[in-house]
Structure formats: C-alpha cells, structure tokens
Amino acid sequence: MNYQIELRHFVYFLAVAEELHYRKAAEKLFISQPGLSTQIKQMEEILGTQLFVRDKKKVSLTPAGEFLKKEVEFILNHLDQTKKQVKLIGDGQLGEVRIGFLGSAMQNVVPNLLLGLKEKYPTVHTTLEELSNRAQINAILTDRLDLGFVRLSRVPKGLDVKPVFEDTFSLVLPEDHPLDAKHFKNINQVADEDFILFSQDYSPMYYDTVLSICEDSGFVPHVSHKSVHAQTIFKLVENKLGIAIVPTTLQYGFQMKVKFIEMKKIKQRAVLSMVWKTDNRNPALQKCMDLLQKL
Amino acid sequence: MNYQIELRHFVYFLAVAEELHYRKAAEKLFISQPGLSTQIKQMEEILGTQLFVRDKKKVSLTPAGEFLKKEVEFILNHLDQTKKQVKLIGDGQLGEVRIGFLGSAMQNVVPNLLLGLKEKYPTVHTTLEELSNRAQINAILTDRLDLGFVRLSRVPKGLDVKPVFEDTFSLVLPEDHPLDAKHFKNINQVADEDFILFSQDYSPMYYDTVLSICEDSGFVPHVSHKSVHAQTIFKLVENKLGIAIVPTTLQYGFQMKVKFIEMKKIKQRAVLSMVWKTDNRNPALQKCMDLLQKL
DNA sequence: ATAATTAATAAGTATGAATTATCAAATTGA
DNA sequence: TCAATTTGATAATTCATACTTATTAATTAT
C-alpha cells in the first residue's frame, strides 16, 4: 500500500533497464524472476508511472523509464563514491579525487598536481584514468569522475571549465627530414606532406585548431592517418608515413627517432582545461582546485 | 552481516543527525527508539565507520558523519525531485515530441500546434525537422520521429494517419500574366503552358492529384521543371519559366512577384495528414494529438 | 501439432525490521 | 545520600514483506 522506494528498487530497475529481459536481469541479481517482477511492479506503483512496456515478447523503457535510468545511474554512482568518502574520512583521510585526463596532460599538469597533493595533502587519495574528452565529460556528468583535463572550449551546462595550461604547437618530423629548426620559416614549407593527427572524436578542438593553423598558411593539409595515441603518431612519423602537429610538451617522455620544431610564432595555442561539476561537494576536490590555482 | 545500505538508513540517519537525540528522532520518525538505535548501528557497520559519538548524555557527529549528513541531504532532495519528474514525464506533462513536416505544413498547421503546446503544456519540448514524405515515414518507423505531417493517403502497416487540414489548390502565375482571377473559368485555359510542380518523390500524392486535376479538364500538362522547395517553384514562375499548381496556403509567407488564383470549384483537395506509430508510448505525443483534434 | 520460450500470478517461507520489556549509566533533585 | 528520571543499548518477540517455489497464460519456435 504505502511502501517507500528503496535503493534495492533502483538496483533492480537498472538491471532490467539494461537487460530489457526479466529472467536475465534476475539471474544477474541472483534473485528469482517472480521476485523481480513484483518489485518492479511495486516500484511503478510507488512512482505512479509505468516504467517498462511489456509488449508481446518484448520489454522496453517508457520515456519516464528512460529518464529514470539516467538518474539512477547517477544516484548509484554518487552513492558508491559517498560510501568510499565516508570510510576514508572516518579513517582520518581527506577523501578521494577521481581524475580523468587526456594523454597529453600526463607530461606536465597531472604529475605536478599529484606531486603537490602528495606534499600538501598526503591524505587525499587519487584515482587516475586516461580518457577522451567526451568520455571525461560523460563520467563527470554521471559522477564517476570528479575532475577532468580536457581540450574543449565549451562544456555542457552544470560543468565548469578553467584553462590550466597553454602550450605552443610543434611540428613533428622524422629525424632525418631535410627541414630543421634553423631553416623553418612557415608551415607551408611542408604543405605537400601527409599529416598524421589526433582523431576528431578524441579531441575535436585540437583537430579544428590544427586545421586553422594550416588554413592561416593558406593550405588544407592532407590527413593520411588519425590516432588517439601520441605514441602511435610518433611511430608513424618515425616510419616516414607522414608528419604531425602536436602540443609541444608531448616531446618529453617519448623515446622516438623524431624531431620537434616548436612553432612559437603561430598564434594558436593548445589549451588544456580542467573541468568539474559545478556543484561537486567532494572536499578533496576543493584541495585539488586550490593547488591548481598555483601551478 | 552482509547488509546493504538502504534509503531508510539515510532517512533515519538524517533525523538523528538533526536532532542529535535518539528518542526525539525516533518520535519524529514514528518508530521506537530501540529500532532506531539498531538501524544506525547497522549503518555504521556497513559503512565501516563511526558516524556518531555517544558520550555521556550527549550525541554528536563525527567528521565522517558531518560529511555524510551533507551528502544525505543532497541525495534525498535529488531523489524527491527525480520522483516528481518521473511522474510528470509519465503523465506527459514533461518531455519531448519530435516532429517532422513538409514545408507546406509550416504555413498553418505546425505553427498552430506549437502555439497550442506552448500555452497548454509549456513544459513539453519539441524538435522540428523539415523532411520529405518518405523521410518522415522512415524516421517514424525507426523511432527517430514521433509525429509527421505528410501528404499521403496510405502509410505502411503499424502507422496511423489522420487528415488535419484540407486545402484548395491555387494556380500560380507570373504577376503580369494576362489571366487573372476575374477571367479564370477553368484550368484548361492554361493547358498549353509549361508546368512547374513538386517532385514525385517529395510527395507522390500531390503529384498524382495535380495530374488528375488536369485530366479532369481533358489535358495532360507539360511539366518543365520539378522541385522540392516552394521557394524555388515560385522563383521559376516569377521568371516566367512556367506556371504552377500548389496548395493555396503556400501563398502566405513568401515575398514573390507571382499571383495566386484559388480554384475553389475544383473538387480535389490538398490533404495534409498527421502520421504516427500506432504503438508510440510517448505520453507527450498524446498531448499533441489531443490538441490537434481541436484545431 | 508440441516444445520451449516469455512474464505474471498464487501460495508459502524466512529474513530482518520493527515492537515491547528491560537494563545500566548518567543526571537531577530532594 | 538515595529515589526518580532520563539517556541509549540489549534481549526477546512479533510481524511485515521480500523472497522462494509452483503454476499459469501467452507467445514463439520447431
């Protein structure tokens, strides 16, 4: 009659919403199918809305169910994190920050942050994950991540961005390429070569910026390969499959037979920004932000 | 032993955290004090942390409890909000209808629908897309669209159609064409002219209807141009490349040097219909349909 | 046709959240 | 100083209900 929603309901709901199949969902949850059926039904009664459509042989979500699914994902993630935080604080630690980053942030910004944290707040724990721009935004929105390092100018509502590092671009050439820093004047000297770039969907802003650099010199680059890994890009350059344009700091940390020509005169910069949820209350995140102000 | 946190725990915890007094908190929750005690204790066991300090005669929060209190306030609020929203979406008060339409529906039916929605259901969002008949049918079948406005008499199985607007046809002539409304009797007065019509594949029904109008007058029109855009058709007429026959409402909304002669006596009508998937469960769609009944 | 799916229903069980009754410890008030 | 109160924590018991198993109706597949 007058039941209340419980977390159990959410866990069950999510299983069904993911499987769209009561028996399989019940198996995954290690409960019986009839039990699951009644719990979902009860849930629908409490909420006063149909969540699933059970047609002939097919289970699907209603719009309300669709909406609830997203919310439940967030709530359960947030809850997991809260439990962890409570435990850490109870143990005298400050908590945990879950950090996502683009590979190119690992050369400079992220290591400095970690060093700073270790020194000033040794009780703050961190988890690190290398993710694409898009994956980071998603993870932050669903509260699987507290802080991201991305190359984006705009982010969805509810998130804040702040630039933390500006980098020049560098041309990456095979070691024995005829052009060198001394004779480099303008990028159109290599306009006819094949270009190897990071994929658009890995970082659309990077891609657009590189194209605009070429455009400013009056040519459209012929892009022969795209990759999401700097390692791969350098390897391809090493093997003379093309040349690349990347943020300058990427030159450190790789052992490759390639040379970098920093293009200081070019006005475009590779901007690395941090992103976080505006209303994130993770106390350990605050400490991170304080530190990043000073870097 | 291996219990799980439930929302009940949070509600209980918050009561104690606010009152800092087990008996009073229990009273507020309408449960017995011992029950509350055991539940809080269980909660602490699950989380692996002390949440309250019970000193002699005084209950207070630990730092971990302090943190959890803020989180629980957030979580419970967020949950309330989510419940409300799910209910609203389920009732069709909130949500999205994805509408497709032929350009010619934009003069009249679609704007009226949008105005009505805005007034009666201001929380229902709409997305609009101008598409051909065929593209709309495809989009509805694959659930990329909820509602279409087409000129078709028959639609694939699984879809429903319903006429929403009937329009007369008008002759479209260059502004300085010798024929005018006063002297217009029958369409065979222009039987020898070139005709400019909408393409068959944009709207086969329109095409057939126009041909049947001519047939009724005993001639077969010579079609010199076809287009999918009213704008284009009018432009061609303006430049004396032919004359056109179009649904009358199209005369509004364009700034062209052409004149319209409405052919009221002709029995054929340009019928605009709405199409939707019979088993579409989008509650916001129902609201649309209700409104369209009254237009 | 028969067999094998599906989810929903019905009836019974057992877990565990609640209750009442009680306790020890602290506070209060003569 | 010693009852009288108050606190939260136990202990024993009750009872609600989340589960189970058994079964059914409805589809789909063979």
Residue B1 in this model has a pLDDT that exceeds 80: no
Return the closest-CA partner of residue B137 out of B151, B148, B153.
Answer: B148
Task: Please report which confidence band the pLDDT of residue A38 belongs to, taking 50, 70 and 90 as the band edges.
Answer: very high
Residue B79 contacts A, CB cutoff 8 Å: yes
Q: Is the C-beta of residue A39 closer than 7 Å to nucleic acid chain D?
A: yes
Instruction: Tell me the mean pLDDT in the region A50-61.
Output: 86
Percentage of chain B exceeding pLDDT 70: 99
Strand D near-CB residues (< 7 Å), B 179-218:
none
pLDDT at A252: 83
A residues 253..282 contacting B (CB < 8 A): 281
Instruction: Tell me the mean pLDDT in the region B261-267.
Output: 93
A63 vs B91: CB contact, 8 Å cut-off?
A: no
Closest partner CB to B95 (pick from A5, A63, A281): A63
Q: Is the C-beta of residue B138 closer than 7 Å to nucleic acid chain C?
A: no
Residue given tokens 């495809």 in the structure block: B138
Nucleotides of D under 7 A from a protein CB: 6-12, 17-23, 26-28
Residue A35 in this model has a pLDDT that exceeds 90: yes
Residue B176 · residue B264 · CB < 8 Å: no
Distance from CA of A42 to the nearest CA of B (A): 14
Task: Please report which confidence band the pLDDT of residue B190 belongs to, taking 50, 70 and 90 as the band edges.
Answer: very high
Residue A201 contacts B, CB cutoff 8 Å: no
Instruction: Tell me the mean pLDDT in the region B9-35.
Output: 93
Residue B142 in this model has a pLDDT that exceeds 70: yes
Instruction: Tell me the mean pLDDT in the region A141-160.
Output: 90
Residue A123 in this model has a pLDDT that exceeds 70: yes
Domains and CATH numbers, chain B: 7-73 (1.10.10.10), 93-165+272-293 (3.40.190.10), 169-268 (3.40.190.10)
A276 or B279: which leads in pLDDT: A276
pLDDT at A228: 81
pLDDT tens figures, A68-103: 999 999 999 999 999 998 998 888 788 888 999 988
Whole-structure pTM value = 0.73
Sequence-ordered alpha helix ranges (H) in chain A:
7-19, 22-29, 33-47, 63-90, 109-120, 133-141, 204-216, 230-238, 283-294
Within 13 Å and on the Cβ side, how many CA atoms surround B258? Answer: 30
Q: Is the C-beta of residue A22 closer than 7 Å to nucleic acid chain C?
A: yes
Residue A221 · residue A195 · CB < 8 Å: yes
Closest partner CB to A67 (pick from B7, B50, B89): B89
Residue A266 in this model has a pLDDT that exceeds 80: yes
User: CA A134, CA A121: separation in Å to the nearest integer?
Assistant: 30
CA of B20 to C1' of C30 (A): 30
pLDDT at A295: 63
Return the closest-CA partner of residue A292 out of A109, A24, A86.
Answer: A109
Residue given tokens 């169910």 in the structure block: A65
Size of interface A-B (CB pairs under 8 A): 94
Residue B203 · residue B174 · CB < 8 Å: no
B126 or A27: which leads in pLDDT: A27
Task: Please report which confidence band the pLDDT of residue A1 belongs to, taking 50, 70 and 90 as the band edges.
Answer: low
B216 or B231: which leads in pLDDT: B216
Task: Please report which confidence band the pLDDT of residue B243 belongs to, taking 50, 70 and 90 as the band edges.
Answer: very high
pLDDT tens figures, B72-106: 988 998 898 889 889 989 988 888 888 998 888 88
Residue B285 contacts A, CB cutoff 8 Å: no
Residue A150 in this model has a pLDDT that exceeds 70: yes
Task: Please report which confidence band the pLDDT of residue B2 belongs to, taking 50, 70 and 90 as the band edges.
Answer: confident
Residue B202 in this model has a pLDDT that exceeds 70: yes
Instruction: Tell me the mean pLDDT in the region B39-58.
Output: 89
